[in-house]
Amino acid sequence: MSKLKETLFKKIQEHRPRTQKLLKEHGDVKIGEVTIAQAIGGARGVRSLVTDISYLDPFEGIRFRGKTIPETFEALPKVPGCEYPFVEGFWWYLLTGEIPTMAQTLEVVEDFKARRGVPQYVIDVLRALPRDSHPMAMFSSAILAMQRESVYVKRYNQGMKKDEYWDPTYEDASNILAKLPSIGAYIYRMKYKADIHIHANKDLDFGGNFAHMMGFDKPYDDVARMYFILHSDHESGNVSAHTTHLVASALSDAYYALSAGINGLAGPLHGLANQEVLSWVMKFQQKLGGKEATEENVREALWDTLKAGQVVPGYGHAVLRKTDPRYMAQREFCLKNLPDYPLFKLVSMIFQVAPGVLTEHGKTKNPWPNVDAQSGVIQWYYGLTEWDFYTVLFGIGRAIGVLANITWDRALGYAIERPKSVTTKMLEDVAAQAIKADDLGSD
């Protein structure tokens, strides 16, 4: 057994009694109530998911296993000569909650290298899709096509015990994750780089090899590491994480579950917003026709979007009530590495203007930028200008978080998900009863 799997198993054994005790002795304790607005409004704020891998505070933002983004970057072993940590060490951290040593990290690096070969039939599937298919449809199809590889399914069919489910889920998760950079890079080069491919480099780590296979020079390897880690996890309620968790709760394997989660990420209100931001900015520049962007014409363009009944992409969030620290982490990267880049300056100007416009518009509960408002600028600067590929980058990162989560879901025996529906009439009846109770109270 690898060191990572051994450590994970130890953590699972330590954790299981906590979940069992909560269920057995405190199962009836209430942690919240559900309103009609929440039932109709996408279960916003309803506490019905449990994860220890990350937690999203509305004002502080994300913490991975208790650490903020800067603390996480600081604590993890760095790739020699680079500023950002190994993605493989981050995978260890998300799974176990422990910062790995360099030796432990390098063991995962080697393990991933051994797992990273992509079967030829996956390439065939990708090549069979029309070349104008969206990269996210390609990415999801590639993951789904590999379902026949599932170790979990083989073990399940042999009659595995429930408390062993985590083990082949971990194997599936590792096998999938190790292949995602190659799959992403293959899609990119097939679609946008004249179908000319670059072989994996056996000396490179997850982020380094991705940059190499994409065909981008340093420091794009660090950009990739930063990007994957930042996008990995945002607690369990977002669409991609929740979908992956939901599908896996039926004991569908990690291939089915992740492919489904990736489909959710492809929505414009979720992960696709990063491509929408770039598309918005480019349309805006086109409209300016060479004129300089000013706060005034940015404000005008934002209002045009809102008046057309559209959302301003990259702004707002279902949980956050301040600027997303993932936005700030990328902004700091830009301030350090590309402070005078015109696109960065324009995005910074939008950051100055948009919160005021959205506040005046008066609808959104959070007028501040989210992760997607900034990420395209960095990609564009380093030469990745094909913005409909951006959500695949997000998807590779998001896979780290959701695969760690479903490994733990199986370890802790989380149940098949099945919330209860009510009818509109039932809601109307409850509302009428509430009015009656109010009237009696005021008599």
**Residues at the site binding ligand HAX, with contacts judged by CB under 6 A:** 44, 238, 269-271, 273, 306, 311-318, 363-366, 370-372
Report which residue's Cβ sits closest to ligand HAX.
316
Least Å distance between CB 267 and ligand HAX? 9
Strand partners, 64: 54, 67
Residue keyed to tokens 């559900």: 34
Task: Output 89 or 135, the one with its CB closest to ligand HAX.
Answer: 135
Tell me the closest approach of the beta carbon of residue 185 to ligand HAX, in angstroms.
22
Contact call for residues 317 and 324 (beta carbons, < 8 A): yes
Closer by beta carbon to ligand HAX, 213 or else 273: 273
Nearer to ligand HAX, 44 or 127 (CB): 44
Token pair 């910074």 is found at: 348
User: Which CB sits closer to ligand HAX, 1 or 308?
Assistant: 308
Angle at 52 between CA 412 and CA 46, to 5 degrees: 95
CB of 397 to ligand HAX, least distance (A): 11
Length of the chain: 443
What is the spatial distance between Cα 299 and Cα 314, in angstroms, rounded to a whole number? 15
Enzyme catalytic residues: 270, 317, 372
CB of 183 to ligand HAX, least distance (A): 20
Instruction: Compute the least distance from the CB of residue 362 to ligand HAX, in Å.
Output: 9
Min CB(358)–ligand HAX separation in Å: 6
- Smallest gap, in angstroms, from Cβ of residue 53 to ligand HAX? 17
Over the chain, what HEC string results? CCHHHHHHHHHHHHHHHHHHHHHHHHCCCCCCCCCHHHHHCCCCCCCCCCCCCEEEECCCEEEECCECHHHHHHHCCECCCCCCECHHHHHHHHHHCCCCCHHHHHHHHHHHHHHCCCCHHHHHHHHHCCCCCCHHHHHHHHHHHHHHHCHHHHHHHCCCCHHHCHHHHHHHHHHHHHHHHHHHHHHHHHHHCCCCCCCCCCCCCHHHHHHHHHCCCCCHHHHHHHHHHHCCCCCCCCHHHHHHHHHHHCCCCHHHHHHHHHHHHCCCCCCCHHHHHHHHHHHHHHHHCCCCCCHHHHHHHHHHHHHCCCCCCCECCCCCCCCCHHHHHHHHHHHHHCCCCHHHHHHHHHHHHHHHHHHHHCCCCCCCECCHHHHHHHHHHCCCCCHHHHHHHHHHHHHHHHHHHHHHHHHCCCCCCCCCCCCHHHHHHHHHHHHHHHHHHHC
Nearer to ligand HAX, 100 or 316 (CB): 316
What's the CA gap between 178 and 143, in Å, rounded? 12
CB of 40 or CB of 432, closer to ligand HAX: 40
For ligand HAX, give the closer residue by CB, 54 or 182.
54
Query: Based on CB atoms, which residue is closest to ligand HAX, 129 or 306?
Result: 306
Q: How far is CA 263 from CA 153, 259, 359, 386, 397, in A?
A: 22, 6, 31, 19, 14
Nearest distance in Å: CB 364, ligand HAX: 3
